[in-house]
Amino acid sequence: MKTRITELLGIQHPVILPGMSWISVPELVAAISNAGGLGILASGPLSRQETRDAIRRIRELTDKPFGIGVTLMMPGAKENAEIALEEKVPVINFSLGKGDWLVREAKKYGGKVIATVVTEKHALAAQKSGVDALMVTGHEAAAHGGSVTSLCLVPAIADLVDIPVIAVGGFADGRGLLAALALGADGVAMGSRFATSAESPLHSNVKNTVIDKRVEDTIYSNNFDGLYARVMKTPMAEKATRKPMNFIMAALKSFKAAKMVDLPLWKLLAGMLAQFDKIRMLSLFGAATEKLEAATIDGDLDKGVQFIGQSQGIINDVETVQVLMDRIINESETVALQLAKQHQGV
């Protein structure tokens, strides 16, 4: 299956693993790339050295194209992006920030840059900055999707821009891939689907819980980590999203987040005075980190909270990445053929 995104990235299938903290690790990234898609490493929880080590580990596991994700508003993201540039990572995916400098530096070695956007305004700004493609994230997505559903956001942005579009949010099978292409996208990213693959480090308890959940079993709120985010609906998640965390408590949690990304203590304290809003975001992020780790790593949904998309309701098994990729591509081709036959019979 050839699209503008497969041609741009040099991959076989227009299917992408987005960067998901603690999930999109080198082994899963390489598995996706080896299966013909594009795996994107999550750098959010990583220090500079961990990022470099992860990039080199991916190269030990695959000779296929891969990418790295950086959330520019988060502490340590710029430094991790600089590591990615030094290592000449083939694809850099940035979000929540201006990536003009990334585009400029990546082009020097032939790298491609993808911007994650949730609005038409940001899509146009990203295209103007010179990015090669857009990851358009709809309301259905896990974590930080937009306020507009993929069904409307993807075609709206596809009509506005000239560069390839990757649809994100609500896609988990071959029907979703075909639907995304029909909406004007050139590929899809499937976070929740590949998070529940055999190679994913997501705890088995959470994988099994995803299988039991329905499409309506999620919560979309900005009370968890400071941004509007979608999480799995559980008693703990309902409690965690009921109201914003007390700032004093969240500030204490921020020290853990700062340590995780190698942010010096003096910078954190200085930032509390000079950039209160950004430090408040770090504080909420730090508070959320504990609950995310408890769920994702330990599988404890009584104490933890799990990012998940509404597509959890159409995920019914745990299979290897290769089996899932083959199924997605075969199903999309089969459904396309069935639709063509129906059209011919009209």
CATH of the domain at 33: 3.20.20.70
Report the predicted TM-score, pTM, of the whole model to 2 decimal places: 0.91
How does pLDDT run across 285-308, given as a tens digit for each residue?
A: 767 888 999 999 999 999 999 999
Centre a 10 Å sphere on the Cβ of residue 267 and count the other Cβ atoms it contains: 12
61 by DSSP, 3-state: which?
A: helix
Q: Is residue 207 part of a domain?
A: no
Q: Looking at the structure, tell me whether residues 243 and 320 fall in a common domain.
A: no
Task: Work out whether the CA dihedral 276, 279, 283, 288 comes out positive or negative.
Answer: positive
Model confidence at 248: pLDDT above 70: no
Closest CA to 14 of 328, 331, 270, 233: 328
Q: What is the pLDDT of residue 260?
A: 53
- Which tokens is 127 given? 């295209």
Domain that holds residue 147: 4-201+315-336
Q: What is the pLDDT of residue 148?
A: 98
- Which tokens is 8 given? 């741009």
Centre a 10 Å sphere on the Cβ of residue 306 and count the other Cβ atoms it contains: 27
- Which tokens is 326 given? 């083959």
Please say whether the beta carbons of 128 and 161 come within 8 A: no
Q: Looking at the structure, tell me whether residues 227 and 281 fall in a common domain.
A: yes
- Secondary structure (DSSP) of 226-242: SS-EEEE--HHHHHHTS
Round to whole Å and give the CA distance between 21 and 60.
21
What DSSP element (H or E) covers 112? strand 112-117
Q: Looking at the structure, tell me whether residues 138 and 26 fall in a common domain.
A: yes
How does pLDDT run across 260-286, given as a tens digit for each residue?
A: 555 565 554 544 444 555 555 666 676
Q: Looking at the structure, tell me whether residues 225 and 292 fall in a common domain.
A: yes
Q: Looking at the structure, tell me whether residues 134 and 270 fall in a common domain.
A: no
Question: Of residues 274 and 254, which shows the higher confidence score?
Answer: 254
Q: Is residue 310 part of a domain?
A: no
Please say whether the beta carbons of 145 and 138 come within 8 A: yes
Q: Looking at the structure, tell me whether residues 286 and 324 fall in a common domain.
A: no
Q: Is residue 346 part of a domain?
A: no
How does pLDDT run across 22-67, given as a tens digit for each residue?
A: 999 999 999 999 999 999 999 999 999 999 999 999 999 999 999 9
Q: Looking at the structure, tell me whether residues 42 and 151 fall in a common domain.
A: yes
User: Which pLDDT band, with edges at 50, 70 and 90, does 344 fall under?
Assistant: confident
Q: Is residue 306 part of a domain?
A: no
Beta-strand pair 165-168/229-232: unpaired
Closest CA to 196 of 180, 212, 176: 212
* Residue recorded with tokens 């850099």: 92
Round to whole Å and give the CA distance between 207 and 242.
25
